[in-house]
Structure 1
Amino acid sequence: MWYRVRLLQKTLYAMADLSAAQYILIALIFVWSGFVRSGLGFGGAVLSLPFLLLVLDEPLVFLPIIAVHLLIFSSITVWMNNRKKPRAGQEPSEGTVDWRYIGRLMTILIVPKMIGVIGLFTLPSNVLSAIIFVIVALYSVSYIINRPFRSGSKAIDVLFLMLGGYISGTSLIGAPLIIAVAAQHLPKEKLRDSLFVLWFILVLIKLGAFIWVGVDLQLIHHLWLLPAAAVGHVIGLRVHERMLRAETALFFRVLGSVLLVVSGIGLVTSFT
């Protein structure tokens, strides 16, 4: 644990020495990050971090930035979607967030999440990541072929959620495993915003841990990366609306395809 604390306490100024081309690449990747986050409700970290590390191999430079972006854009999106008043003749909406289900998820996630943050124990990172991404790949294939996997066992779902909570505590890539379970129980109209609220809670815990151990939050770089992520966020919102109007099978095929990409990237990066 103390080894990790000493590692996190290093102040990182690596972005100050980058070239103009590297800055442009980082900005484009954050546009992509904002797009997938608002379009699907997850993937802002796991689908962008591998590319960011190709530009600068310093995860602790980017993780606080991604965390702050998620807090900002998730809260704005959920607030705007739930403040809309129904049109004349329409019944009041129940909202886009399933708060009861989020509460149930948090009762399962909070303990492994805190264990992951504190770092009381750990498996080898590449082995743990490989297990997670293999499971997610199996889920994604089932969605692509329009036969979503159903475990038929609450115990297995709880196990997957606990693993996802632990991974989200040690990093920010636990979303694919959590969404693989949540997508079975939430309607597509509430899936993204409910996940946004869940990510907000989990990332807030992680960001608090960053502040506690003295990680540089790279606040100066939010001035130019926040607008880049905002551009992607707006594009992603429009894509999400089109996905909701599409047939359910198409929605889950897209979801499965993204999960499969996530799994492939994760398997490759976990052993390199």
Structure 2
Amino acid sequence: MSDLESYQYLLIGLIFVWSGFVRSGLGFGGAALSLPFLLLIDNRPLIFLPIIAIHLLVFSSSTVLVNARRSRSAEASGEVMRQNIDWAYLRYALAVMIIPKLLGVFGLITLPPAIMSGIIFSIVAVYAVGYILNRPFRSKSKSVDALFLMLGGYISGSSLIGAPLIIAVFANHVDKHQLRDTLFVLWFILVTIKMAAFIAVGIDLQLIHQLWLLPCATIGHLLGLRLHRRMLDRESPLFFRLLGSALLLISVVGLLKELW
């Protein structure tokens, strides 16, 4: 990223604030809802994916640990607390997803950046239409569940934006109060696999840029925690429709840019 203009660095910083806000607020979407914007600035996914992956590792683990500590404190004081993570379903999902995940990582490393960017924009456009129509992906059978998990694992391996497919399954099998923390543990495991692959093949992890992008994401993360507390007991279809409209516009612009 050393060849960018000053205003581009500013835009990247703001996008990472947005990424942290979405991730902690919704429990997913930090990559899916920020990567299209980042690729409009620089269409090389392997520049941004290591940064996003490290942020996800930091914030998913810290959120789960903080919530676990609060649960232990409440239990020690005599309060009845619910388990924050559905470990049984998490183990099942990982068993289904692990092979497609590894295949996706291999595809990311070997495909040209332009092709990978086009795939990412196309996937996000499909997600966006689902948000606009208030009809996100839903699974209603065990076979469809497995298919969505495998596709989500592959897409997660190739671009870190498989969350909507994975959540379509998890939302039907995991209690609402457990969903975010269960997903955070899942993201941590999946991203650890990808980071190991990045290190193994010598991909630049862009560690120098963490010095200024991690604080940007932290600001968004803290704001997103407030959003999550407000959204836990209510639905926000208007928010998702506006989000979907913005994503669809960005994806169309990104695809046109690749074609030109």
Deviations 1:98-147 (CA, angstroms, capped at 9, x unpaired): 1111111101100111121233999x86579747854774477455xxxx
AA aligned opposite 1:161: L
- Describe the shift of the 1:128–1:51 C-alpha distance in structure 2 as closer, same or farther (beyond 3 A): closer
Distance apart, 1:53 and its partner CA: 1.8
TM-score, structure 1 as length reference: 0.80
Write the distance in 2 (CA, Å) between the matches of 1:108 and 1:136.
Answer: 26
SS of equivalent residue, structure 1 residue 214 = coil
- Describe the shift of the 1:133–1:160 C-alpha distance in structure 2 as closer, same or farther (beyond 3 A): farther
SS of equivalent residue, structure 2 residue 74 = coil
Superposition map of 1:9-88 within 5 A? 15-84=1-70, 85-86=73-74, 88=77
1:180 aligns with 2:175: no
- Describe the shift of the 1:156–1:173 C-alpha distance in structure 2 as closer, same or farther (beyond 3 A): same
**Paired residues of 1:136 and 1:177 also in contact (CA < 8 A):** no
1:239 aligns with 2:200: no
Write the distance in 2 (CA, Å) between the matches of 1:36 and 1:160.
Answer: 22
**Paired residues of 2:127 and 2:244 also in contact (CA < 8 A):** no
**Paired residues of 2:107 and 2:158 also in contact (CA < 8 A):** yes
**Paired residues of 2:104 and 2:154 also in contact (CA < 8 A):** yes
Write the distance in 1 (CA, Å) between the matches of 2:127 and 2:212.
Answer: 37
TM-score, structure 2 as length reference: 0.83
Which ranges of structure 2 fall in alignment gaps of 5 or more residues? none
- Describe the shift of the 1:51–1:131 C-alpha distance in structure 2 as closer, same or farther (beyond 3 A): closer
**Paired residues of 2:137 and 2:164 also in contact (CA < 8 A):** no
Deviations 1:22-61 (CA, angstroms, capped at 9, x unpaired): 2211111111110000000111111111111222222211
1:228 aligns with 2:216: yes
SS of equivalent residue, structure 2 residue 12 = helix
Superposition map of 1:111-260 within 5 A? 111-119=99-107, 130=122, 134=126, 137-138=129-130, 141-142=133-134, 151-244=139-232, 246-247=233-234, 250=235, 254=239, 258=243
- Describe the shift of the 1:264–1:154 C-alpha distance in structure 2 as closer, same or farther (beyond 3 A): farther
**Paired residues of 1:46 and 1:262 also in contact (CA < 8 A):** no
RMSD: 2.9
- Describe the shift of the 1:251–1:107 C-alpha distance in structure 2 as closer, same or farther (beyond 3 A): farther
Moved more, 51-60 or 163-172: 51-60
Alignment: residue pair count: 249
Distance apart, 1:170 and its partner CA: 1.4
Between structures 1 and 2, the one with greater helix share: 2
**Paired residues of 2:131 and 2:240 also in contact (CA < 8 A):** no
Distance apart, 1:80 and its partner CA: 0.1
